């Protein structure tokens, strides 16, 4: 006859199975891994890929902004270890934790330990700074997004510095966070990265408490309210007219006279001095005679001068204002133009689909508007058969 049950008494004592406790609720885990993914996308598109990837960078940034906002709501409404309250430690307990760690007697926490908690707040803070300055850069440099009516190009260059520095800070913090997770996983023999996937940790914590109910209804209502306020608000701001960009009136004389041999270059692409010099030398215009009668010449000169690079706040106008003193009549001789296009082989410009580097609109779908948005760039491909 088989005996069912423990054969030896010692089995009863020593094989108490490990209990696994739920620590991270599903929303926090989903938040964590979505944030990891979108920060990876934003980093690659921001640091490694050319400006034409801006749209993907913006989508990643928007997702990050929404995730962080949502996490703040959940920090007040989630289950126990998701709430900020559960991981705000006093300075003293943080120092004690550090000392205990160094003496090798620190206990395990179910949620974040004091150092991990500090890291969470540092990460959220730097991500916030990156998102907010990113929106300011987008507004001032590209005249896009909700701040486009409020930020100048010069302002955007300052925000850009902060945006880049904060991004480096975030990278360093992420490194510290990973080091902390690896160290703590080694020290406690529990894979904390897996715990952020399953939500479970083995028991035996210093301060263990029940998970507690989340206030999901409140979280959903607050998020819905934020969405109802923020989405139309952002749209309304985005539809304002951009800072320092006045509507360009059409001028038929300019379009026909200056658009017959090459595209009619937007007046904001050169400064007043250059336009004046071009207009007073039309009889010898880059080897061509482009002379005009006095009335047409005056009309076009006035038009170009009153909408010149000095009077516009687009990135192109700000950069192209800075002409090469030796060749002040050429947009394509400016340092900025050469820098932006130095990866493009001469054969690409002379290809049948483009013709010449002066044919801006072949690659810039918005060349006529003078804006030259990164999202509007695509180089037409030669058909090869």
Say whether residue 245 binds ligand HEC (CB under 6 A). no
Q: How far is it, in rounded angstroms, from Cα 85 to Cα 26?
A: 19
Under the binding rule (CB under 6 A), the answer on residue 363 touching ligand HEC is yes
Instruction: Work out whether 117 is an interface residue with ligand HEC (CB under 6 A).
Output: no
Which range of residues in 33-41, 214-222, 240-248, 343-351 is near ligand HEC by CB under 6 A? 343-351
Q: CA distances (Å), 334 to each of 130, 201, 239, 303, 304, in order?
A: 31, 61, 32, 22, 18
52 Cβ contact list (under 8 Å, min separation 6) = 374, 375, 377, 378
Nearest to 209 by CA among 86, 92, 120, 107: 86
Q: Number of C-alpha atoms within 13 angstroms, CB side, residue 103?
A: 9
332 contributes a contact to ligand HEC by CB under 6 A: yes
Residue 23 within binding range of ligand HEC, rule CB under 6 A? no
Stretch that binds ligand HEC, among 29-37, 70-78, 208-216, 368-376 (CB under 6 A): 368-376
Residue selected from 257, 308, 312, 323 as contacting ligand HEC according to rule CB under 6 A: 257
> Is residue 357 involved in binding ligand HEC (CB under 6 A)?
yes
255 binds ligand HEC (CB under 6 A): no
Q: Which of 99, 246, 356, 382 binds ligand HEC (CB under 6 A)?
A: 356
Q: Single out the segment in contact with ligand HEC by CB under 6 A; choices: 79-87, 128-136, 173-181, 351-359.
A: 351-359
Q: Which is nearer to ligand HEC, 224 or 353 (CB)?
A: 353
Query: Considering the complex, what minimum distance in angstroms separates the CB of residue 127 from ligand HEC?
Result: 25
| Residue 118 CB contacts under 8 Å (≥ 6 apart), including other chains | 94
Residue from 265, 303, 307, 323 in contact with ligand HEC (CB under 6 A) = 265
Q: Which is nearer to ligand HEC, 181 or 276 (CB)?
A: 276
Is residue 137 within the footprint of ligand HEC (CB under 6 A)?
Answer: no
CA–CA separation, 153 and 141 (whole Å): 5
If one counts every other C-beta atom within 10 angstroms of the C-beta of residue 265, the result is 21
Name which of 26, 38, 30, 66 is nearest 170 in CA terms.
38
| Spacing of C-alpha 378 from chain mean position | 21
Query: If binding is defined by CB under 6 A, does position 269 make contact with ligand HEC?
Result: yes
Nearer to ligand HEC, 100 or 255 (CB): 255
Site string for ligand HEC, 25-54 (x = CB under 6 A): -------------------------xx---
Q: Contact with ligand HEC (CB under 6 A): which of 245, 258, 309, 323?
A: 258
Instruction: Identify the CA nearest to 22 among candidates 214, 165, 171.
Output: 214
CB 41 within 8 A of CB 60: yes
User: Long-range contacts of range 164-172, CB-CB < 8 Å, 24 or more positions apart?
Assistant: 166/126, 166/129, 166/130, 166/133, 167/43, 167/46, 167/47, 167/130, 169/126, 170/39, 170/123, 170/126, 170/127, 170/130, 171/43
- Asked if 139 contacts 156 with a C-beta cutoff of 8 angstroms, the reply is yes
* Interacting residues with ligand HEC between 174 and 213 (CB under 6 A): none
State the minimum distance, in angstroms, from the CB of residue 378 to ligand HEC.
8
Residue 349 interacts with ligand HEC (CB under 6 A): yes or no: yes
* Residues in contact with ligand HEC by the rule CB under 6 A: 50-51, 257-258, 260-262, 265, 269-270, 278, 282, 285-286, 288, 290, 300, 315-316, 329-332, 340-341, 344, 348-349, 354, 356-360, 362-364, 372-374, 377, 379
């Amino acid at each position: 006859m088989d005996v069912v049950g423990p054969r030896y008494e010692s089995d009863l004592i020593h094989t108490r199975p490990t209990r696994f406790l739920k620590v991270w609720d599903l929303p926090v885990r989903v938040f964590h891994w979505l944030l990891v993914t979108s920060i990876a996308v934003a980093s690659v598109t921001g640091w490694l890929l050319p400006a034409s990837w801006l749209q993907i960078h913006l989508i990643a940034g928007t997702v990050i902004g929404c995730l962080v906002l949502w996490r703040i709501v959940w920090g007040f409404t989630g289950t126990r270890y998701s709430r900020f309250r559960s991981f705000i430690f006093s300075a003293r307990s943080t120092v004690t934790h550090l000392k205990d760690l160094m003496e090798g007697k620190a206990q395990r926490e179910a949620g974040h330990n004091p150092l991990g908690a500090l890291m969470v707040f540092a990460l959220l803070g730097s991500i916030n700074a990156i998102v907010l300055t990113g929106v300011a850069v987008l507004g001032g440099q590209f005249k896009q997004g909700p701040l486009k009516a409020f930020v100048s190009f010069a302002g955007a260059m300052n925000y850009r510095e902060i945006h880049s520095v904060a991004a480096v800070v975030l990278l360093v913090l992420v490194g510290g966070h990973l080091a902390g997770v690896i160290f703590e996983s080694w020290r406690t023999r529990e894979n904390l990265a897996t715990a952020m996937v399953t939500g479970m940790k083995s028991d035996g914590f210093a301060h263990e408490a029940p998970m507690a109910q989340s206030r999901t209804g409140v979280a959903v209502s607050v998020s819905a309210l934020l969405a109802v306020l923020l989405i139309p608000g952002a749209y309304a701001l985005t539809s304002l007219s951009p800072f320092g960009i006045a509507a360009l009136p059409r001028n038929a004389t300019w379009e026909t006279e200056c658009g017959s041999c090459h595209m009619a270059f937007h007046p904001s692409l050169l400064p007043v001095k250059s336009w004046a010099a071009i207009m007073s030398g039309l009889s010898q215009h880059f080897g061509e005679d482009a002379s005009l009668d006095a009335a047409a010449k005056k009309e076009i000169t006035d038009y170009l001068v009153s909408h010149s690079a000095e009077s516009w706040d687009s990135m192109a106008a700000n950069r192209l204002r800075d002409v090469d003193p030796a060749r002040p009549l050429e947009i394509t001789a400016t340092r900025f133009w050469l820098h932006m296009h130095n990866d493009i082989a001469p054969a690409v410009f002379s290809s049948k689909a483009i013709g010449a580097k002066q044919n801006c609109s072949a690659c810039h779908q918005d060349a006529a508007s003078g804006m030259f948005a990164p999202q509007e760039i695509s180089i037409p491909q030669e058909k090869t058969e």
